[in-house]
Amino acid sequence: MLDHELINRTLSTAMSTGGDFAEVFVEDKRSSSAVLDDGRVEELTSGRDRGAGVRVVVGDTTGFAHTADLSEAGLRSAAEAAATAARGGGGGAKTIAVSPIEVARRAPARIPPEDVAKATKVGLLTLANEAARSEGAAISQVSARYGDSRRRILVANSDGLLAEDDQVRTLFSVSCVATGDTGLQTGRESTGRTVGFELFEETDVEDMGRRAAQRAITKLAARPAPSGAIPVVVGPGGGGVLFHEACGHGLEADLIAKGASVFANRIGDEVASPLVTLIDDGTMAGEWGHFAIDDEGRPAAHNVLIQDGVLTDYMWDQLRARKEGRPSSGNGRRQSYQHLPMVRMTNTYITAGQDDPADIIAATDHGVYVAQLGGGQVNTATGDFVFGMTEAYLIENGEIAEPIREGNLIGNGPEVLTRIDMLGDDFQMGSPGTCGKDGQGVPVGDGTPTLRVTSLTVGGTAA
Protein backbone atom coordinates (compact mmCIF):
# COMPACT_ATOMS: atom_id res chain seq x y z
CA MET A 1 0.00 0.00 0.00
CA LEU A 2 2.95 2.33 0.73
CA ASP A 3 6.66 2.12 -0.03
CA HIS A 4 8.47 0.44 2.85
CA GLU A 5 11.22 3.07 2.88
CA LEU A 6 8.58 5.76 3.30
CA ILE A 7 7.18 3.81 6.25
CA ASN A 8 10.68 3.58 7.75
CA ARG A 9 11.21 7.33 7.45
CA THR A 10 7.82 8.07 8.98
CA LEU A 11 8.54 5.84 11.98
CA SER A 12 11.97 7.44 12.40
CA THR A 13 10.32 10.86 12.51
CA ALA A 14 7.80 9.61 15.04
CA MET A 15 10.60 8.31 17.28
CA SER A 16 12.90 11.32 16.84
CA THR A 17 11.90 12.97 20.13
CA GLY A 18 12.63 9.88 22.17
CA GLY A 19 9.43 7.86 21.97
CA ASP A 20 9.22 4.39 23.47
CA PHE A 21 7.03 3.04 20.69
CA ALA A 22 5.66 4.28 17.38
CA GLU A 23 3.17 2.85 14.91
CA VAL A 24 1.83 3.71 11.46
CA PHE A 25 -1.60 2.40 10.47
CA VAL A 26 -2.66 2.82 6.82
CA GLU A 27 -6.17 2.08 5.61
CA ASP A 28 -7.88 2.09 2.21
CA LYS A 29 -11.58 1.20 2.50
CA ARG A 30 -14.19 1.02 -0.25
CA SER A 31 -17.85 0.34 0.51
CA SER A 32 -21.25 0.26 -1.15
CA SER A 33 -24.80 -0.17 0.06
CA ALA A 34 -28.36 -0.31 -1.23
CA VAL A 35 -31.63 0.00 0.67
CA LEU A 36 -35.11 -0.86 -0.62
CA ASP A 37 -38.05 0.39 1.43
CA ASP A 38 -41.68 -0.25 0.54
CA GLY A 39 -40.70 -1.43 -2.93
CA ARG A 40 -38.59 1.61 -3.77
CA VAL A 41 -34.82 2.00 -3.79
CA GLU A 42 -34.29 4.69 -1.15
CA GLU A 43 -30.50 4.55 -0.98
CA LEU A 44 -27.73 3.52 -3.38
CA THR A 45 -24.33 4.67 -2.20
CA SER A 46 -20.64 3.96 -2.60
CA GLY A 47 -17.61 5.55 -1.03
CA ARG A 48 -13.92 5.39 -0.36
CA ASP A 49 -11.93 6.44 2.70
CA ARG A 50 -8.14 6.41 2.67
CA GLY A 51 -5.59 7.69 5.17
CA ALA A 52 -3.13 6.93 7.94
CA GLY A 53 -2.94 7.23 11.70
CA VAL A 54 0.36 7.64 13.56
CA ARG A 55 0.70 6.71 17.23
CA VAL A 56 3.64 7.57 19.49
CA VAL A 57 3.94 6.32 23.07
CA VAL A 58 6.17 7.87 25.75
CA GLY A 59 5.76 6.21 29.13
CA ASP A 60 2.04 6.21 29.87
CA THR A 61 1.31 9.03 27.40
CA THR A 62 0.08 8.39 23.87
CA GLY A 63 0.17 10.93 21.07
CA PHE A 64 -1.96 10.30 18.02
CA ALA A 65 -2.51 12.09 14.72
CA HIS A 66 -4.23 11.07 11.49
CA THR A 67 -4.18 12.34 7.95
CA ALA A 68 -5.81 11.68 4.59
CA ASP A 69 -2.61 12.89 2.90
CA LEU A 70 -0.44 9.84 2.23
CA SER A 71 2.40 11.81 0.66
CA GLU A 72 5.73 11.89 2.47
CA ALA A 73 5.01 15.44 3.67
CA GLY A 74 1.58 14.45 4.97
CA LEU A 75 2.88 11.43 6.85
CA ARG A 76 5.80 13.40 8.27
CA SER A 77 3.45 16.08 9.58
CA ALA A 78 1.27 13.47 11.27
CA ALA A 79 4.33 11.77 12.79
CA GLU A 80 5.65 15.07 14.12
CA ALA A 81 2.26 15.99 15.57
CA ALA A 82 1.92 12.64 17.32
CA ALA A 83 5.46 12.84 18.69
CA THR A 84 4.86 16.36 19.97
CA ALA A 85 1.67 15.28 21.66
CA ALA A 86 3.49 12.41 23.36
CA ARG A 87 6.47 14.48 24.41
CA GLY A 88 7.07 18.15 23.76
CA GLY A 89 10.71 18.75 22.76
CA GLY A 90 13.65 16.39 23.08
CA GLY A 91 15.96 15.45 20.24
CA GLY A 92 17.96 12.78 18.52
CA ALA A 93 16.85 10.22 15.99
CA LYS A 94 16.28 6.51 15.85
CA THR A 95 16.51 4.60 12.59
CA ILE A 96 13.67 2.12 12.07
CA ALA A 97 13.88 -0.86 9.72
CA VAL A 98 10.66 -2.82 9.25
CA SER A 99 10.29 -6.22 7.66
CA PRO A 100 7.11 -8.10 6.69
CA ILE A 101 5.90 -10.86 9.01
CA GLU A 102 4.25 -14.06 7.84
CA VAL A 103 0.55 -14.33 8.70
CA ALA A 104 -1.99 -17.00 7.88
CA ARG A 105 -3.72 -15.60 4.83
CA ARG A 106 -7.30 -16.59 4.17
CA ALA A 107 -8.55 -17.24 0.66
CA PRO A 108 -9.39 -14.02 -1.19
CA ALA A 109 -12.98 -13.17 -2.07
CA ARG A 110 -13.90 -15.39 -5.01
CA ILE A 111 -16.34 -12.81 -6.40
CA PRO A 112 -15.17 -9.29 -5.48
CA PRO A 113 -18.33 -7.26 -4.71
CA GLU A 114 -16.95 -4.24 -6.56
CA ASP A 115 -17.07 -6.31 -9.76
CA VAL A 116 -20.81 -6.96 -9.39
CA ALA A 117 -23.26 -4.60 -11.11
CA LYS A 118 -25.42 -2.41 -8.87
CA ALA A 119 -28.50 -3.70 -10.69
CA THR A 120 -27.67 -7.24 -9.55
CA LYS A 121 -27.43 -6.10 -5.94
CA VAL A 122 -30.72 -4.23 -6.16
CA GLY A 123 -32.27 -7.34 -7.72
CA LEU A 124 -31.60 -9.25 -4.52
CA LEU A 125 -33.47 -6.62 -2.54
CA THR A 126 -36.45 -6.90 -4.89
CA LEU A 127 -36.57 -10.68 -4.53
CA ALA A 128 -36.54 -10.47 -0.72
CA ASN A 129 -39.25 -7.79 -0.74
CA GLU A 130 -41.58 -9.77 -3.00
CA ALA A 131 -41.08 -12.98 -1.02
CA ALA A 132 -41.84 -11.23 2.27
CA ARG A 133 -45.02 -9.62 0.96
CA SER A 134 -46.21 -12.94 -0.44
CA GLU A 135 -46.66 -14.20 3.15
CA GLY A 136 -49.91 -12.28 3.55
CA ALA A 137 -51.73 -8.96 3.67
CA ALA A 138 -50.69 -8.47 7.28
CA ILE A 139 -47.22 -7.46 6.08
CA SER A 140 -47.48 -3.69 5.84
CA GLN A 141 -43.85 -2.74 5.44
CA VAL A 142 -40.68 -4.39 4.16
CA SER A 143 -37.17 -2.97 4.22
CA ALA A 144 -34.19 -4.81 2.73
CA ARG A 145 -30.56 -3.78 2.89
CA TYR A 146 -27.42 -4.89 1.03
CA GLY A 147 -23.89 -3.81 1.96
CA ASP A 148 -20.31 -4.70 1.10
CA SER A 149 -16.86 -3.38 1.92
CA ARG A 150 -13.23 -4.00 1.07
CA ARG A 151 -10.75 -2.82 3.69
CA ARG A 152 -7.02 -3.00 2.99
CA ILE A 153 -4.73 -2.19 5.91
CA LEU A 154 -1.00 -1.93 6.55
CA VAL A 155 0.49 -1.78 10.04
CA ALA A 156 4.14 -1.02 10.82
CA ASN A 157 5.78 -0.18 14.13
CA SER A 158 9.09 0.63 15.77
CA ASP A 159 9.56 -2.98 16.86
CA GLY A 160 10.18 -3.77 13.18
CA LEU A 161 6.76 -5.25 12.47
CA LEU A 162 5.18 -4.83 9.05
CA ALA A 163 1.93 -6.63 8.21
CA GLU A 164 -0.94 -6.24 5.74
CA ASP A 165 -4.47 -7.56 5.36
CA ASP A 166 -7.27 -7.40 2.80
CA GLN A 167 -10.71 -7.78 4.40
CA VAL A 168 -13.87 -8.21 2.30
CA ARG A 169 -17.29 -8.32 3.98
CA THR A 170 -20.78 -8.74 2.52
CA LEU A 171 -24.07 -8.21 4.38
CA PHE A 172 -27.79 -8.67 3.69
CA SER A 173 -30.82 -8.09 5.93
CA VAL A 174 -34.62 -8.00 5.71
CA SER A 175 -36.98 -6.31 8.19
CA CYS A 176 -40.75 -6.67 8.11
CA VAL A 177 -43.65 -5.01 9.91
CA ALA A 178 -46.96 -6.85 10.36
CA THR A 179 -50.15 -5.01 11.30
CA GLY A 180 -52.99 -6.59 13.28
CA ASP A 181 -55.40 -6.14 16.18
CA THR A 182 -52.49 -6.06 18.64
CA GLY A 183 -50.77 -3.24 16.73
CA LEU A 184 -47.46 -3.46 14.91
CA GLN A 185 -45.00 -6.35 15.21
CA THR A 186 -41.61 -6.75 13.58
CA GLY A 187 -39.50 -9.59 12.24
CA ARG A 188 -35.94 -9.54 10.98
CA GLU A 189 -33.42 -11.84 9.28
CA SER A 190 -29.80 -10.99 8.52
CA THR A 191 -26.63 -12.63 7.30
CA GLY A 192 -23.11 -11.37 6.95
CA ARG A 193 -19.79 -13.03 6.21
CA THR A 194 -16.18 -12.08 5.65
CA VAL A 195 -16.48 -13.22 2.03
CA GLY A 196 -17.32 -11.70 -1.34
CA PHE A 197 -20.50 -11.83 -3.42
CA GLU A 198 -20.27 -15.63 -3.33
CA LEU A 199 -22.26 -15.23 -0.09
CA PHE A 200 -25.39 -15.43 -2.25
CA GLU A 201 -24.48 -18.86 -3.61
CA GLU A 202 -25.27 -20.19 -0.13
CA THR A 203 -27.89 -17.62 0.93
CA ASP A 204 -31.49 -17.64 -0.35
CA VAL A 205 -32.68 -14.04 0.04
CA GLU A 206 -36.26 -15.04 -0.78
CA ASP A 207 -36.23 -17.51 2.10
CA MET A 208 -34.84 -14.75 4.33
CA GLY A 209 -37.73 -12.50 3.32
CA ARG A 210 -40.32 -15.18 4.04
CA ARG A 211 -38.83 -16.02 7.45
CA ALA A 212 -38.71 -12.36 8.48
CA ALA A 213 -42.36 -11.95 7.47
CA GLN A 214 -43.44 -15.12 9.26
CA ARG A 215 -41.70 -13.97 12.43
CA ALA A 216 -43.60 -10.66 12.35
CA ILE A 217 -46.94 -12.35 11.64
CA THR A 218 -46.43 -14.91 14.42
CA LYS A 219 -45.88 -12.11 16.94
CA LEU A 220 -49.31 -10.64 16.11
CA ALA A 221 -50.79 -13.48 18.14
CA ALA A 222 -48.26 -13.10 20.96
CA ARG A 223 -49.39 -12.64 24.54
CA PRO A 224 -47.68 -10.30 27.01
CA ALA A 225 -44.51 -11.71 28.55
CA PRO A 226 -44.64 -12.94 32.15
CA SER A 227 -42.87 -11.19 35.00
CA GLY A 228 -40.54 -12.60 37.60
CA ALA A 229 -37.58 -14.95 38.02
CA ILE A 230 -38.08 -18.11 35.94
CA PRO A 231 -35.97 -20.61 33.95
CA VAL A 232 -34.91 -19.28 30.55
CA VAL A 233 -33.80 -21.40 27.60
CA VAL A 234 -31.72 -19.53 25.02
CA GLY A 235 -31.81 -20.92 21.47
CA PRO A 236 -28.74 -21.61 19.31
CA GLY A 237 -27.01 -18.51 17.99
CA GLY A 238 -29.73 -16.08 18.96
CA GLY A 239 -28.51 -15.45 22.49
CA GLY A 240 -24.82 -14.95 21.78
CA VAL A 241 -25.14 -11.19 22.14
CA LEU A 242 -26.06 -11.66 25.81
CA PHE A 243 -22.67 -13.22 26.57
CA HIS A 244 -20.86 -10.75 24.30
CA GLU A 245 -22.23 -7.84 26.30
CA ALA A 246 -22.71 -9.25 29.79
CA CYS A 247 -19.43 -11.19 30.00
CA GLY A 248 -17.20 -10.47 27.00
CA HIS A 249 -16.64 -6.76 27.63
CA GLY A 250 -15.72 -7.49 31.23
CA LEU A 251 -12.84 -9.67 29.95
CA GLU A 252 -11.19 -6.88 27.92
CA ALA A 253 -7.84 -5.90 29.43
CA ASP A 254 -8.41 -2.13 29.30
CA LEU A 255 -11.48 -2.44 31.52
CA ILE A 256 -9.58 -4.83 33.77
CA ALA A 257 -6.75 -2.27 34.14
CA LYS A 258 -9.25 0.44 35.07
CA GLY A 259 -10.87 -1.76 37.70
CA ALA A 260 -14.11 -1.40 35.75
CA SER A 261 -14.84 -5.13 35.49
CA VAL A 262 -16.25 -7.70 37.88
CA PHE A 263 -13.66 -10.15 36.49
CA ALA A 264 -10.60 -8.12 37.57
CA ASN A 265 -7.97 -10.13 39.50
CA ARG A 266 -9.88 -13.37 39.09
CA ILE A 267 -7.61 -15.44 36.80
CA GLY A 268 -7.77 -19.02 38.04
CA ASP A 269 -11.12 -18.54 39.79
CA GLU A 270 -14.22 -20.53 39.00
CA VAL A 271 -16.49 -17.88 37.46
CA ALA A 272 -19.00 -20.04 35.58
CA SER A 273 -20.70 -23.41 35.52
CA PRO A 274 -18.25 -26.24 34.73
CA LEU A 275 -20.24 -26.68 31.50
CA VAL A 276 -19.08 -23.30 30.20
CA THR A 277 -16.09 -22.70 27.93
CA LEU A 278 -16.01 -19.17 26.49
CA ILE A 279 -13.79 -18.39 23.50
CA ASP A 280 -12.91 -15.32 21.45
CA ASP A 281 -11.61 -16.33 18.03
CA GLY A 282 -10.59 -14.02 15.20
CA THR A 283 -9.40 -16.99 13.12
CA MET A 284 -12.92 -18.33 12.36
CA ALA A 285 -12.81 -18.31 8.57
CA GLY A 286 -15.71 -16.44 7.01
CA GLU A 287 -17.29 -15.26 10.26
CA TRP A 288 -18.14 -11.57 10.65
CA GLY A 289 -15.35 -10.85 13.15
CA HIS A 290 -12.66 -12.70 11.18
CA PHE A 291 -9.37 -11.18 9.96
CA ALA A 292 -5.77 -12.20 9.29
CA ILE A 293 -4.26 -9.48 11.50
CA ASP A 294 -5.78 -7.11 14.03
CA ASP A 295 -5.42 -3.35 13.70
CA GLU A 296 -2.04 -3.44 15.45
CA GLY A 297 -0.63 -5.99 13.02
CA ARG A 298 -0.91 -9.00 15.35
CA PRO A 299 -2.16 -12.30 13.88
CA ALA A 300 -5.72 -13.25 14.73
CA ALA A 301 -5.85 -15.83 17.52
CA HIS A 302 -8.06 -18.46 19.14
CA ASN A 303 -8.25 -17.27 22.76
CA VAL A 304 -9.79 -19.40 25.51
CA LEU A 305 -11.14 -17.00 28.15
CA ILE A 306 -13.05 -19.41 30.38
CA GLN A 307 -12.25 -23.13 30.38
CA ASP A 308 -14.70 -25.52 32.07
CA GLY A 309 -15.92 -22.67 34.25
CA VAL A 310 -12.46 -21.35 35.24
CA LEU A 311 -11.27 -17.90 34.12
CA THR A 312 -8.03 -18.49 32.20
CA ASP A 313 -7.19 -15.19 30.45
CA TYR A 314 -8.32 -11.77 29.30
CA MET A 315 -8.25 -10.21 25.83
CA TRP A 316 -5.22 -7.99 25.14
CA ASP A 317 -4.09 -5.28 22.78
CA GLN A 318 -0.44 -4.48 22.07
CA LEU A 319 0.19 -1.68 24.58
CA ARG A 320 -1.41 -3.34 27.58
CA ALA A 321 0.29 -6.63 26.73
CA ARG A 322 3.69 -4.86 26.58
CA LYS A 323 3.18 -3.49 30.07
CA GLU A 324 2.48 -6.99 31.36
CA GLY A 325 5.43 -8.53 29.48
CA ARG A 326 3.23 -10.85 27.47
CA PRO A 327 2.15 -11.12 23.83
CA SER A 328 -0.96 -9.47 22.47
CA SER A 329 -3.93 -11.77 21.98
CA GLY A 330 -4.75 -10.17 18.63
CA ASN A 331 -7.61 -8.07 20.03
CA GLY A 332 -6.37 -4.56 19.19
CA ARG A 333 -9.04 -3.09 16.91
CA ARG A 334 -10.08 0.32 15.62
CA GLN A 335 -12.97 1.67 13.58
CA SER A 336 -10.74 3.43 11.07
CA TYR A 337 -7.38 5.14 10.58
CA GLN A 338 -8.86 8.14 12.42
CA HIS A 339 -9.13 6.16 15.66
CA LEU A 340 -6.75 4.71 18.23
CA PRO A 341 -6.91 0.94 18.70
CA MET A 342 -8.40 -0.53 21.85
CA VAL A 343 -9.16 -3.99 23.19
CA ARG A 344 -12.15 -5.43 21.32
CA MET A 345 -13.79 -8.80 20.80
CA THR A 346 -13.82 -10.65 17.45
CA ASN A 347 -16.04 -13.79 17.35
CA THR A 348 -17.06 -14.62 20.91
CA TYR A 349 -18.96 -17.80 21.75
CA ILE A 350 -19.80 -20.53 24.22
CA THR A 351 -18.80 -23.96 22.92
CA ALA A 352 -21.29 -26.79 22.44
CA GLY A 353 -22.26 -29.17 25.22
CA GLN A 354 -23.65 -32.70 25.11
CA ASP A 355 -27.38 -32.25 25.77
CA ASP A 356 -30.02 -32.83 23.11
CA PRO A 357 -31.84 -29.47 22.63
CA ALA A 358 -35.19 -31.28 22.75
CA ASP A 359 -34.25 -32.69 26.16
CA ILE A 360 -33.49 -29.20 27.44
CA ILE A 361 -37.00 -28.03 26.51
CA ALA A 362 -38.59 -31.19 27.87
CA ALA A 363 -36.77 -30.78 31.18
CA THR A 364 -38.22 -27.28 31.64
CA ASP A 365 -41.74 -27.48 33.04
CA HIS A 366 -42.37 -23.74 32.89
CA GLY A 367 -40.20 -20.98 31.52
CA VAL A 368 -39.34 -18.83 28.51
CA TYR A 369 -37.63 -19.86 25.28
CA VAL A 370 -35.65 -17.00 23.68
CA ALA A 371 -34.99 -17.45 19.96
CA GLN A 372 -33.56 -13.97 19.39
CA LEU A 373 -32.36 -11.16 21.61
CA GLY A 374 -32.29 -7.51 20.62
CA GLY A 375 -30.31 -4.60 21.97
CA GLY A 376 -29.35 -4.21 25.57
CA GLN A 377 -27.31 -2.41 28.18
CA VAL A 378 -24.67 -3.70 30.57
CA ASN A 379 -22.68 -2.23 33.44
CA THR A 380 -19.28 -3.91 33.16
CA ALA A 381 -18.31 -2.87 36.69
CA THR A 382 -21.21 -4.83 38.19
CA GLY A 383 -22.20 -7.17 35.35
CA ASP A 384 -25.85 -6.09 35.55
CA PHE A 385 -27.67 -6.14 32.20
CA VAL A 386 -31.02 -5.60 30.48
CA PHE A 387 -31.80 -7.10 27.05
CA GLY A 388 -34.91 -6.96 24.90
CA MET A 389 -36.39 -10.20 23.56
CA THR A 390 -37.21 -9.85 19.87
CA GLU A 391 -38.53 -13.41 19.50
CA ALA A 392 -39.56 -15.49 22.49
CA TYR A 393 -42.09 -18.15 23.51
CA LEU A 394 -43.55 -19.59 26.68
CA ILE A 395 -42.46 -23.07 27.73
CA GLU A 396 -45.32 -24.99 29.30
CA ASN A 397 -45.20 -28.62 30.44
CA GLY A 398 -41.88 -29.15 28.67
CA GLU A 399 -43.05 -27.85 25.30
CA ILE A 400 -42.64 -24.58 23.40
CA ALA A 401 -46.04 -22.87 23.47
CA GLU A 402 -47.38 -19.41 22.65
CA PRO A 403 -45.20 -16.53 21.44
CA ILE A 404 -44.73 -13.63 23.86
CA ARG A 405 -43.93 -9.97 23.39
CA GLU A 406 -42.90 -6.82 25.24
CA GLY A 407 -40.38 -8.46 27.50
CA ASN A 408 -36.83 -7.93 28.75
CA LEU A 409 -34.26 -10.21 30.30
CA ILE A 410 -32.77 -8.70 33.44
CA GLY A 411 -29.83 -10.21 35.25
CA ASN A 412 -26.15 -10.25 36.11
CA GLY A 413 -23.50 -11.64 33.75
CA PRO A 414 -21.39 -13.54 36.30
CA GLU A 415 -24.52 -14.98 37.90
CA VAL A 416 -25.86 -16.14 34.54
CA LEU A 417 -22.61 -17.98 33.86
CA THR A 418 -22.95 -19.93 37.11
CA ARG A 419 -26.64 -20.74 36.51
CA ILE A 420 -26.20 -22.56 33.19
CA ASP A 421 -27.17 -26.15 33.98
CA MET A 422 -27.80 -27.63 30.51
CA LEU A 423 -25.84 -27.05 27.30
CA GLY A 424 -26.92 -28.28 23.87
CA ASP A 425 -24.92 -29.96 21.13
CA ASP A 426 -26.33 -27.62 18.45
CA PHE A 427 -23.86 -24.71 18.41
CA GLN A 428 -24.56 -21.92 15.92
CA MET A 429 -23.14 -18.50 15.28
CA GLY A 430 -25.71 -15.71 15.42
CA SER A 431 -26.37 -12.72 13.20
CA PRO A 432 -23.53 -10.33 12.27
CA GLY A 433 -23.17 -7.38 14.62
CA THR A 434 -21.42 -4.08 15.17
CA CYS A 435 -19.97 -3.63 18.64
CA GLY A 436 -19.88 -0.10 19.97
CA LYS A 437 -17.32 0.98 22.56
CA ASP A 438 -16.05 4.47 23.40
CA GLY A 439 -17.61 5.85 20.22
CA GLN A 440 -16.09 3.26 17.88
CA GLY A 441 -17.89 0.47 16.04
CA VAL A 442 -16.26 -2.73 14.71
CA PRO A 443 -17.74 -5.91 13.14
CA VAL A 444 -18.13 -8.82 15.56
CA GLY A 445 -19.73 -12.24 15.69
CA ASP A 446 -21.14 -14.26 18.58
CA GLY A 447 -22.70 -17.65 19.10
CA THR A 448 -24.10 -20.23 21.50
CA PRO A 449 -25.67 -23.65 21.53
CA THR A 450 -29.09 -24.06 23.13
CA LEU A 451 -28.62 -23.56 26.86
CA ARG A 452 -30.69 -23.24 30.01
CA VAL A 453 -30.28 -20.66 32.76
CA THR A 454 -31.99 -21.92 35.92
CA SER A 455 -33.30 -18.47 36.84
CA LEU A 456 -33.43 -15.10 35.07
CA THR A 457 -35.73 -12.17 35.70
CA VAL A 458 -38.19 -11.63 32.87
CA GLY A 459 -39.60 -8.12 32.81
CA GLY A 460 -42.92 -8.54 31.07
CA THR A 461 -46.30 -6.82 31.22
CA ALA A 462 -48.53 -9.79 32.06
CA ALA A 463 -50.41 -9.43 35.31
Give the mean pLDDT of 159-184: 95
Number of domains the chain is built from: 3
- Residues 269-301 have pLDDT tens digits of 999 999 999 999 999 999 999 999 999 999 999
**282 and 150 together in one domain:** no
The answer to whether position 300 is within a domain reads yes
State the pLDDT confidence band at 97, using cuts at 50, 70 and 90.
Answer: low
Give the pTM: 0.94
Identify the domain boundary among 203, 221, 239. 221
Summary mean pLDDT of the chain: 93
Identify the domain boundary among 183, 206, 221. 221
**In this model, does residue 223 exceed pLDDT 70?**
yes
Runs of H (alpha helix) within 338-422: 357-362, 413-418
The answer to whether position 419 is within a domain reads yes
**348 and 260 together in one domain:** yes
CATH number (domain holding residue 121): 3.30.2290.10
**63 and 155 together in one domain:** no
Q: What is the pLDDT of residue 92?
A: 38
**In this model, does residue 89 exceed pLDDT 60?**
no
- Residues 17-75 have pLDDT tens digits of 888 999 999 999 999 999 999 899 999 999 999 999 999 999 889 999 999 999 999 99
- Residues 125-156 have pLDDT tens digits of 999 999 999 999 999 999 999 999 999 999 99
**In this model, does residue 309 exceed pLDDT 80?**
yes
**354 and 416 together in one domain:** yes
**284 and 214 together in one domain:** no
**In this model, does residue 462 exceed pLDDT 70?**
no
DSSP 99-128: EEPP--PPPPPSS-GGGS-HHHHHHHHHHH
**274 and 388 together in one domain:** yes
The answer to whether position 355 is within a domain reads yes
Runs of H (alpha helix) within 190-330: 205-220, 240-243, 253-257, 318-324
The pair phi, psi for residue 373, each rounded to 5°, is -105, 150
Contacts with 255 (C-beta within 8 Å, 6 or more apart), sequence order: 249, 261, 343, 380
Range of the domain at 342: 228-459
**242 and 339 together in one domain:** yes
Q: Which residues on neighbouring strands pair with residue 410, listed in sequence order?
A: 386, 457
**276 and 335 together in one domain:** yes
Percent of the chain predicted with pLDDT > 90: 86
**In this model, does residue 461 exceed pLDDT 80?**
no
Identify the domain boundary among 221, 253, 288. 221
DSSP 423-449: EBS--EE---EEEEETTEEEEEEEEE-
**362 and 379 together in one domain:** yes
Give the mean pLDDT of 156-173: 96
- Residues 339-366 have pLDDT tens digits of 999 999 999 999 999 999 999 999 999 9
The residue that leads in pLDDT, 15 or 96, is 15
Give the count of beta carbons closer than 10 Å to the beta carbon of residue 131: 22
**150 and 200 together in one domain:** yes
Q: How far apart are CA 299 and CA 291, in angstroms?
A: 8
Q: What is the pLDDT of residue 463?
A: 54
**192 and 256 together in one domain:** no
Q: What is the pLDDT of residue 277?
A: 97
**In this model, does residue 102 exceed pLDDT 90?**
no
**274 and 353 together in one domain:** yes
The answer to whether position 36 is within a domain reads no
